[in-house]
Structures are given as C-alpha cells and as structure tokens.
Amino acid sequence: MMAIAAVWIGVLLLAGGFALDRTLVRLVEDNFDEQLEYVQTALITSAEIDSFGDVQLYRSLGDQRFLEPNSGVYWQITGEGHQPFPSRSLWDRSLKVQGDHFDNEPHFYNSDQFEDEPLRIVERTVILPDSDTRWTFAVASARGELDYQIIRIRSILVWSFAVLGLGLMAMAMLQSWYGLSPLRRVRDAIQAMRTQGTNRITEPLPIEVEPLVDEINALLTHTEQQAEEARMHAGNLAHALKTPLTVLTNAATAHDPRLSDLVCRETKTMQRHVEHHLARARAVGRRASGHARAEVWPSAESVLRAVTRIYDQTRFDLDGNRDAAVTMERQDLDEILGNLIENAAKYGGGSVFVTIDADRSAEQCMIWIEDDGVGIPESERTRIFDRGARLDTGKPGTGLGLAIVRDVIEIYGGSVELGESEDLGGLLVSLSLPRSAL
C-alpha cells in the first residue's frame, strides 16, 4: 500500500508540477512579451518619414535605457535600401533581424547574436505613410531577468512539491499504519491464543475487522468440533478394540485350545470396528476439504448397474429428478446408496424402487429407496443403526452398513429414517441430504 501510494503520489506530483511549470513560465514569458510589444507599438506610432525618405522619430521613447549604451534593451528600424536606424543603446552594434518576410502581427523569438547576452526579440513589418518601403520594427531585451524569474519559479516549484510529496508520503504511511493497526491487534490476539491457551478472540476490535474476527472464531469452533469428533472416534475405536484384545490376550496366556477360533472371531470383530471408524474419518476429511457436490442420478445409475450384476433376478426402477445434486462427495454418496440399495435387493422380495425428489425449491434433497421384503418392525428401526446390529443373521454381512450410512449422512448435515413402503409393502428408507445450489 505504501509503495503504491508513493508511486501514484510521485506520478501525480510530476504531472502536476510539469503542468504548473509550463503555465507559470508561459505567464512570465507572456508578461515579458507584452512589455516588448508595448515598446514596439510606441516605436511604430512615433515613427515618420522625413523629406529624404528615411525613417525618423518625431518623439523619443520614455525609457532612458534606450539612451544608455549596452543597457540590455534595444530597438532598431530596418528598411530595404535604407541604413538601419538603431537606438543609442546599441552603440556600435546592430540587430540581425529576420526581415525576409512580412509580419503583420508581432513575431517573438529568442536570439544569441550578442555574445554572453541572449536576447528576446519582437519584430513587426509596417508600411508607413508616404513610403512604399516595408519597415521592420524590432525591439530586443536581454533575457537575463526573464531567465532569472523562470529559474526562481522552478526552484520554488521543486521545493514546494518536494515538501508536498514528503508530506503526502508521511500522511499515506501514517494512514496505512493506523488503518492496518486492527490487523496487528488481530495478529496479537491470535498469538495470545497460541501462547496463553485461550480459544477465542474476545478483545474488542474496530467494526472494520469484526467480520474477520467472527470468521476466525467460527473457524476455531469448527476446528474444535472436528478435533472433538476425532478424539471421540479414537476413544470409541480404542474402547471397541479393547475387549477383543483382552479376550485374545487372556486366551493366549491361558493356552486356550480354542485360540485359533477366538483369533478368527475377534479379528473379524476388530475389522468391523476399524472399517466403520475409517469410513467416518474419510467422510469427515472430505467434508472439510471444501465445497463438495455430487449429482444424484448418475450415482444411483452407477450403483444400480453394480448391484444388478449380483442380484440379476431383482427388478430395479429409478425415477425422479435427473438434475438433483447434493452437497457431499460423490464417493460418499455412492457408498450410502450402495449400502441401502444392496440391502434392499438382499432382503427384499425381488423389486426395488429408487425415487429422487423433484422439488428443486426445497433446501433438502429427498431420496426414497423401497423394497417388497418383510420390512423392519417399528421397534427395531432405531436399533438397526447400531454397529453390528443385524436382524437376519442367515445372510452374509457385518452389520455395519446402516451404521456407516447414518454416520456419513449426519456428518454432511443430513438424516435417514426408516418406514413402511405404501406401494411395495416392504421397507422404505428416506434420505434427506443438503441440496447443492451450484
């Protein structure tokens, strides 16, 4: 910010200084030229033609410097075929005028014809009464005073603009320093959180940074929730593995002859627990990675193609909104639908209906999965989501499918309910997932 301010201040001051320099120099030069033109006009009005056809002045000019040799102000009247008529101040010198053209109006120019005395000259061509000669009236003045005034003006401009630039830079630096002070206070508050163990920014801060502080506090809350979830899952996993490990340790210590059977049984139990907690951990990690989005119809089609290969005797129907999208990762959506549709095919009677909500205005996207099986009694519909819970132990499975489904859905802010299908008579699974607005 300070560098950008310095660049712009420098550019604007240079542009403004150049424009002001041009304006003031032009004003000084115009004032100088006006004085020369005034003398030239007086010279022309005082000139007349004598009886010999030469020009003369019937009255002298009022400025005494024209009578002093080398005074720095001069005039000269020149005509073709006539001797130049100079002022006494020229003494033994003469002006080299540009008399090869006709100047109806005053013509100003600079000249270095006198050594160490640059001149400012104004010329004008006039035809006087009783004469056919084109007379060139030239008035010259040394540029010393003019150049001195210009140098002084530029010196004042340089110093004043330098002081102005330094003042503006100081103000810009002060403004930047003062304007960014709330961010330094936020930095100090975050440092205090790290060193003093506080978990929130509670220091009163200006209104400009309050949204930032609110977002930081919200991020800290979110991080704490994730950390708490991680600690809870780690504790749950440790508790779940503790019993099988204790059984195996006791059996090995006692040289139990059934050790091999115990190892197989308990390792399967531990494997179920590990798979369940890994699924939750993956879902939490993907949820925290950014704004997820998954299209429901392609995911359901993909799952149905896979399940159809296993249960080729089951009839599957898919209907509803083809454009529905939910705020979750496609991999997690596939896992949820895969578990539910496979369960419907496994425990159903041969028909599975999948319907996607067509109400695009609702915040939640509803997905219904129905089968024509025996369903689940209402008293068991809550317990069936527990880890390892199974109603039909005669079919293969780990009892973790619905538990994983519930946990993953809740991680994304959705819900799952079980009911009875009115059309097929079997189980109805109602999924409510956050709809994606993208």
Residues 19 and 130 in one domain: yes
Helix (H) or strand (E) holding 123: strand 119-126
Residues 135 and 13 in one domain: yes
The answer to whether 434 touches 413, Cβ cutoff 8 Å, is: yes
List CB contacts of 392: < 8 A, sequence separation 6 or more.
Answer: 347
Residues 270 and 386 in one domain: no
CB-based burial label for 289 (10 Å; 0-12, 13-18, 19+)? exposed
Q: Which is higher by pLDDT, 285 or 20?
A: 20
Residues 136 and 220 in one domain: no
Predicted TM-score (pTM) of the model is: 0.46
Residues 222 and 311 in one domain: no
List pLDDT tens digits, range 290-329: 467 889 999 999 999 988 988 888 899 999 999 899 988 8
Give the CATH number for residue 330. Answer: 3.30.565.10
184 is a domain residue: no
List pLDDT tens digits, range 257-287: 877 877 887 787 777 667 666 666 665 655 5
Q: Which domain holds residue 249?
A: 207-288
The answer to whether 42 touches 61, Cβ cutoff 8 Å, is: yes
Residues 272 and 348 in one domain: no
252 is a domain residue: yes
List pLDDT tens digits, range 189-229: 888 777 776 777 777 777 878 888 888 888 888 788 777 77
Residues 282 and 300 in one domain: no
The answer to whether 123 touches 106, Cβ cutoff 8 Å, is: yes
Choosing from 131, 150, 169, the residue where a domain stops is 150
345 is a domain residue: yes
Domain count across the chain: 3
DSSP state of 205: -
Residues 284 and 306 in one domain: no
176 is a domain residue: no
Residues 308 and 378 in one domain: yes
Residues 16 and 133 in one domain: yes
Residues 237 and 346 in one domain: no
Measure the CA–CA gap between 285 and 319, rounded to whole angstroms.
31
Cβ count near 400 (within 10 Å): 21
List pLDDT tens digits, range 404-421: 788 888 888 889 889 898
Choosing from 107, 129, 150, the residue where a domain stops is 150
Residue 344 has pLDDT above 80, yes or no: yes
Residues 95 and 9 in one domain: yes
Q: Which two tokens stand for residue 158?
A: 């340089």
